[in-house]
Amino acid sequence: MALLDQAAQRLLERLRLKVRPRAASGDQGGHRSEVRASGLEFAERREYVVGDDARKIDWQAFARNRTLSVRTFEEEHDARVFVLVDVSASMTRGAPPKLEVARQVAASFGFLGMNQVDRVRVIPFSDTVGRATPVLRRRDDYPGLEAFLHALSPQGATSFEASTRAFLQRFPGRGVVVVVSDLMEASDWSPSLRQLAQRGHQLSVVRVRCDEDHSPDFHGELELCDAETGDLLTVAVTKDLLDAYRAELEAHVERTRDACRRLGGRLVEAPVEQPFDQLLRQVLAPSLEHP
Protein backbone atom coordinates (compact mmCIF):
# COMPACT_ATOMS: atom_id res chain seq x y z
CA MET A 1 0.00 0.00 0.00
CA ALA A 2 1.26 3.49 -0.85
CA LEU A 3 2.40 5.49 2.17
CA LEU A 4 1.23 8.74 0.57
CA ASP A 5 -1.92 8.72 -1.55
CA GLN A 6 -2.43 11.09 -4.48
CA ALA A 7 -4.21 13.68 -2.32
CA ALA A 8 -1.29 13.77 0.14
CA GLN A 9 1.24 14.08 -2.69
CA ARG A 10 -0.72 16.94 -4.30
CA LEU A 11 -0.76 18.74 -0.95
CA LEU A 12 2.98 18.25 -0.45
CA GLU A 13 3.74 19.53 -3.96
CA ARG A 14 2.33 22.93 -2.92
CA LEU A 15 4.42 23.19 0.25
CA ARG A 16 8.02 24.12 0.97
CA LEU A 17 10.20 22.97 3.84
CA LYS A 18 11.54 25.89 5.87
CA VAL A 19 15.33 25.75 6.16
CA ARG A 20 17.17 28.38 8.17
CA PRO A 21 20.26 29.77 6.38
CA ARG A 22 22.79 28.23 8.78
CA ALA A 23 21.32 24.76 8.07
CA ALA A 24 21.80 25.03 4.29
CA SER A 25 24.83 23.49 2.61
CA GLY A 26 27.24 25.07 0.19
CA ASP A 27 25.77 23.66 -3.03
CA GLN A 28 23.36 25.44 -5.31
CA GLY A 29 19.76 24.79 -4.45
CA GLY A 30 16.55 26.37 -3.29
CA HIS A 31 17.27 27.94 0.13
CA ARG A 32 18.59 31.36 1.05
CA SER A 33 22.15 31.59 2.27
CA GLU A 34 23.48 34.11 4.78
CA VAL A 35 26.27 34.85 2.30
CA ARG A 36 25.85 37.87 0.05
CA ALA A 37 27.23 37.07 -3.38
CA SER A 38 26.59 37.03 -7.09
CA GLY A 39 23.64 34.68 -6.85
CA LEU A 40 20.09 34.27 -8.02
CA GLU A 41 17.96 36.64 -5.95
CA PHE A 42 18.40 40.40 -5.51
CA ALA A 43 18.95 41.15 -1.81
CA GLU A 44 19.67 44.87 -1.36
CA ARG A 45 21.34 47.99 -2.68
CA ARG A 46 24.03 49.63 -0.58
CA GLU A 47 26.44 52.54 -0.91
CA TYR A 48 29.60 51.90 -2.95
CA VAL A 49 32.85 51.79 -0.96
CA VAL A 50 36.40 51.72 -2.30
CA GLY A 51 37.35 48.16 -3.17
CA ASP A 52 33.88 47.04 -4.30
CA ASP A 53 33.67 45.28 -7.65
CA ALA A 54 32.92 48.04 -10.19
CA ARG A 55 30.89 45.53 -12.23
CA LYS A 56 28.27 45.53 -9.46
CA ILE A 57 27.69 49.29 -9.54
CA ASP A 58 24.05 50.14 -10.20
CA TRP A 59 24.45 52.67 -13.01
CA GLN A 60 20.71 53.21 -13.37
CA ALA A 61 20.52 54.30 -9.72
CA PHE A 62 23.57 56.56 -10.33
CA ALA A 63 21.77 58.22 -13.27
CA ARG A 64 18.78 58.96 -11.04
CA ASN A 65 20.47 60.29 -7.89
CA ARG A 66 24.16 60.73 -8.82
CA THR A 67 25.19 58.40 -5.96
CA LEU A 68 27.29 55.29 -6.48
CA SER A 69 25.72 52.12 -5.09
CA VAL A 70 26.17 48.39 -5.63
CA ARG A 71 23.61 45.61 -5.89
CA THR A 72 24.05 42.52 -3.70
CA PHE A 73 22.38 39.17 -4.10
CA GLU A 74 21.50 36.16 -1.97
CA GLU A 75 22.82 32.84 -3.07
CA GLU A 76 20.49 29.90 -2.95
CA HIS A 77 21.81 26.64 -1.51
CA ASP A 78 20.39 23.18 -1.06
CA ALA A 79 19.92 21.50 2.30
CA ARG A 80 20.60 18.13 3.81
CA VAL A 81 17.42 16.63 5.24
CA PHE A 82 17.99 13.77 7.68
CA VAL A 83 14.89 11.88 8.81
CA LEU A 84 15.64 9.61 11.79
CA VAL A 85 12.94 6.97 12.26
CA ASP A 86 12.56 5.08 15.53
CA VAL A 87 12.27 1.35 14.77
CA SER A 88 12.45 0.09 18.36
CA ALA A 89 10.01 -2.59 19.49
CA SER A 90 7.68 -0.13 21.27
CA MET A 91 6.73 1.21 17.83
CA THR A 92 4.59 -1.93 17.33
CA ARG A 93 1.96 -0.61 19.73
CA GLY A 94 -1.17 1.28 18.72
CA ALA A 95 -3.92 0.91 16.13
CA PRO A 96 -2.62 1.53 13.53
CA PRO A 97 0.88 0.67 14.83
CA LYS A 98 3.07 3.65 15.57
CA LEU A 99 5.68 2.49 13.08
CA GLU A 100 3.13 2.60 10.27
CA VAL A 101 2.39 6.25 11.01
CA ALA A 102 6.11 6.97 11.44
CA ARG A 103 6.68 5.59 7.92
CA GLN A 104 4.08 8.00 6.54
CA VAL A 105 5.57 10.96 8.40
CA ALA A 106 9.07 10.08 7.17
CA ALA A 107 7.76 9.70 3.61
CA SER A 108 6.15 13.15 3.85
CA PHE A 109 9.34 14.91 4.94
CA GLY A 110 11.31 12.96 2.33
CA PHE A 111 8.84 13.94 -0.40
CA LEU A 112 9.07 17.61 0.62
CA GLY A 113 12.86 17.55 0.50
CA MET A 114 13.07 15.78 -2.86
CA ASN A 115 10.43 18.09 -4.31
CA GLN A 116 12.72 21.07 -3.67
CA VAL A 117 15.88 19.23 -4.78
CA ASP A 118 17.38 18.88 -1.30
CA ARG A 119 19.55 15.94 -0.27
CA VAL A 120 17.35 13.55 1.70
CA ARG A 121 18.51 10.60 3.77
CA VAL A 122 16.24 8.45 5.93
CA ILE A 123 17.97 6.67 8.80
CA PRO A 124 16.37 4.08 11.10
CA PHE A 125 17.52 3.94 14.73
CA SER A 126 16.91 2.04 17.94
CA ASP A 127 19.98 1.35 20.12
CA THR A 128 22.10 2.85 17.29
CA VAL A 129 21.57 4.06 13.75
CA GLY A 130 20.97 1.49 11.02
CA ARG A 131 21.56 1.37 7.28
CA ALA A 132 20.48 4.65 5.69
CA THR A 133 19.01 5.34 2.29
CA PRO A 134 21.37 6.66 -0.35
CA VAL A 135 21.10 10.40 -0.99
CA LEU A 136 17.68 11.08 -2.54
CA ARG A 137 17.35 14.30 -4.52
CA ARG A 138 14.67 13.95 -7.15
CA ARG A 139 10.99 13.07 -7.24
CA ASP A 140 12.01 10.04 -9.32
CA ASP A 141 13.71 8.71 -6.16
CA TYR A 142 10.46 8.60 -4.18
CA PRO A 143 9.45 4.98 -5.02
CA GLY A 144 12.80 3.84 -3.63
CA LEU A 145 12.11 5.72 -0.40
CA GLU A 146 8.72 4.02 -0.03
CA ALA A 147 10.26 0.60 -0.60
CA PHE A 148 12.93 1.35 2.04
CA LEU A 149 10.35 2.48 4.60
CA HIS A 150 8.10 -0.53 3.98
CA ALA A 151 11.07 -2.84 4.67
CA LEU A 152 11.74 -1.39 8.14
CA SER A 153 10.93 -3.81 10.95
CA PRO A 154 10.69 -2.94 14.66
CA GLN A 155 13.18 -4.52 17.02
CA GLY A 156 15.38 -3.74 20.01
CA ALA A 157 15.43 -0.99 22.61
CA THR A 158 15.81 2.76 22.12
CA SER A 159 19.02 4.58 22.98
CA PHE A 160 18.76 8.07 21.57
CA GLU A 161 22.11 8.98 23.14
CA ALA A 162 23.98 6.17 21.34
CA SER A 163 22.05 6.76 18.13
CA THR A 164 22.86 10.48 18.16
CA ARG A 165 26.54 9.79 18.75
CA ALA A 166 26.64 7.31 15.84
CA PHE A 167 24.69 9.69 13.59
CA LEU A 168 27.09 12.58 14.22
CA GLN A 169 30.07 10.33 13.48
CA ARG A 170 28.65 8.89 10.25
CA PHE A 171 27.02 11.99 8.79
CA PRO A 172 29.18 15.12 8.91
CA GLY A 173 27.92 18.56 8.00
CA ARG A 174 24.75 20.29 9.05
CA GLY A 175 21.17 20.31 7.85
CA VAL A 176 17.61 19.65 8.93
CA VAL A 177 17.17 16.75 11.38
CA VAL A 178 13.66 15.34 11.82
CA VAL A 179 13.38 12.74 14.60
CA VAL A 180 10.25 10.55 14.34
CA SER A 181 9.80 8.57 17.56
CA ASP A 182 7.35 7.65 20.32
CA LEU A 183 9.84 8.93 22.94
CA MET A 184 9.22 5.78 24.99
CA GLU A 185 12.67 5.84 26.57
CA ALA A 186 13.21 6.97 30.14
CA SER A 187 16.55 8.72 29.52
CA ASP A 188 16.63 12.49 29.11
CA TRP A 189 16.93 13.42 25.42
CA SER A 190 18.02 17.01 26.11
CA PRO A 191 21.83 16.45 25.97
CA SER A 192 21.59 14.59 22.65
CA LEU A 193 19.35 17.26 21.13
CA ARG A 194 21.88 19.87 22.30
CA GLN A 195 24.68 17.98 20.51
CA LEU A 196 22.68 18.02 17.28
CA ALA A 197 22.03 21.75 17.58
CA GLN A 198 25.70 22.45 18.34
CA ARG A 199 26.60 20.74 15.06
CA GLY A 200 24.37 23.33 13.36
CA HIS A 201 21.35 21.14 12.70
CA GLN A 202 17.83 22.55 12.56
CA LEU A 203 15.71 20.31 14.79
CA SER A 204 12.20 18.90 14.60
CA VAL A 205 10.87 16.07 16.77
CA VAL A 206 7.66 14.30 15.77
CA ARG A 207 6.26 12.29 18.65
CA VAL A 208 4.16 9.42 17.31
CA ARG A 209 1.91 8.30 20.15
CA CYS A 210 -1.09 6.10 20.82
CA ASP A 211 -3.78 6.15 23.50
CA GLU A 212 -2.20 3.10 25.12
CA ASP A 213 0.96 5.12 25.84
CA HIS A 214 -0.92 7.50 28.14
CA SER A 215 -3.84 5.38 29.33
CA PRO A 216 -2.86 1.69 29.55
CA ASP A 217 -5.86 -0.48 30.39
CA PHE A 218 -4.14 -2.48 33.12
CA HIS A 219 -5.32 -3.36 36.61
CA GLY A 220 -4.66 -5.96 39.28
CA GLU A 221 -1.70 -8.30 39.73
CA LEU A 222 0.05 -8.62 36.37
CA GLU A 223 3.28 -9.86 34.86
CA LEU A 224 4.31 -7.16 32.37
CA CYS A 225 6.79 -7.65 29.53
CA ASP A 226 8.93 -4.75 28.33
CA ALA A 227 8.23 -4.49 24.58
CA GLU A 228 11.83 -3.40 23.86
CA THR A 229 13.99 -5.44 26.24
CA GLY A 230 11.77 -8.45 26.89
CA ASP A 231 12.26 -8.04 30.65
CA LEU A 232 9.43 -9.34 32.85
CA LEU A 233 8.07 -7.46 35.85
CA THR A 234 5.42 -8.65 38.29
CA VAL A 235 3.50 -5.68 39.64
CA ALA A 236 0.25 -4.75 41.34
CA VAL A 237 -1.27 -2.15 39.00
CA THR A 238 -3.26 0.40 40.99
CA LYS A 239 -4.75 3.79 40.16
CA ASP A 240 -1.94 5.51 42.06
CA LEU A 241 0.67 3.59 40.06
CA LEU A 242 -0.98 4.50 36.75
CA ASP A 243 -1.22 8.14 37.84
CA ALA A 244 2.50 8.14 38.70
CA TYR A 245 3.32 6.55 35.32
CA ARG A 246 1.33 9.18 33.41
CA ALA A 247 2.94 12.01 35.37
CA GLU A 248 6.44 10.68 34.64
CA LEU A 249 5.69 10.22 30.93
CA GLU A 250 4.22 13.71 30.62
CA ALA A 251 7.24 15.19 32.42
CA HIS A 252 9.59 13.36 30.02
CA VAL A 253 7.71 14.67 26.97
CA GLU A 254 7.68 18.22 28.35
CA ARG A 255 11.44 18.08 29.05
CA THR A 256 11.97 17.09 25.42
CA ARG A 257 9.59 19.79 24.19
CA ASP A 258 11.35 22.45 26.27
CA ALA A 259 14.76 21.30 25.04
CA CYS A 260 13.61 21.57 21.43
CA ARG A 261 12.21 25.05 22.04
CA ARG A 262 15.40 26.28 23.73
CA LEU A 263 17.42 25.03 20.76
CA GLY A 264 15.20 26.73 18.20
CA GLY A 265 13.31 23.57 17.25
CA ARG A 266 9.83 22.16 17.72
CA LEU A 267 8.21 19.03 19.10
CA VAL A 268 4.87 18.17 17.53
CA GLU A 269 2.45 15.38 18.39
CA ALA A 270 1.26 12.75 15.90
CA PRO A 271 -1.53 10.63 17.45
CA VAL A 272 -2.00 7.43 15.46
CA GLU A 273 -5.77 7.58 16.00
CA GLN A 274 -6.03 10.89 14.09
CA PRO A 275 -7.01 10.78 10.38
CA PHE A 276 -3.80 11.06 8.37
CA ASP A 277 -4.81 14.14 6.35
CA GLN A 278 -5.33 16.06 9.61
CA LEU A 279 -2.22 14.60 11.18
CA LEU A 280 -0.11 15.56 8.15
CA ARG A 281 -1.11 19.22 8.33
CA GLN A 282 -0.53 19.30 12.09
CA VAL A 283 2.91 17.69 11.87
CA LEU A 284 4.18 19.75 8.95
CA ALA A 285 2.83 23.18 9.91
CA PRO A 286 5.80 24.28 12.10
CA SER A 287 8.32 23.16 9.45
CA LEU A 288 6.93 25.01 6.43
CA GLU A 289 7.77 28.26 4.72
CA HIS A 290 4.95 30.78 4.75
CA PRO A 291 4.55 33.52 2.16
pLDDT of residue 167 exceeding 50, the answer is: yes
State the chain's mean pLDDT as an integer.
85
Read off the pTM.
0.79
Q: What is the pLDDT of residues 137-157, one digit of tens each?
A: 988 999 999 999 999 999 889
- Kindly write down the DSSP assignment for every residue of the chain, as one continuous string: --SS-HHHHHHHHT--B---GGGEEEEEEEEEEEEEES-SEEEEEEE--TTS-GGGB-HHHHHHHS--EEEEEEEEEEEEEEEEEE-SGGGG-TTTTHHHHHHHHHHHHHHHHHHTT-EEEEEEESSSB-PPPPPB-SGGGHHHHHHHHHT----S---HHHHHHHHHHHS-S--EEEEEE-----S--HHHHHHHHHTT-EEEEEEEE-HHHHS----EEEEEE-TTT--EEEEEE-HHHHHHHHHHHHHHHHHHHHHHHHTT-EEEEEETTS-HHHHHHHHHGGGB---
Q: What is the pLDDT of residues 202-237, one digit of tens each?
A: 999 999 999 988 877 777 666 666 666 667 777 777
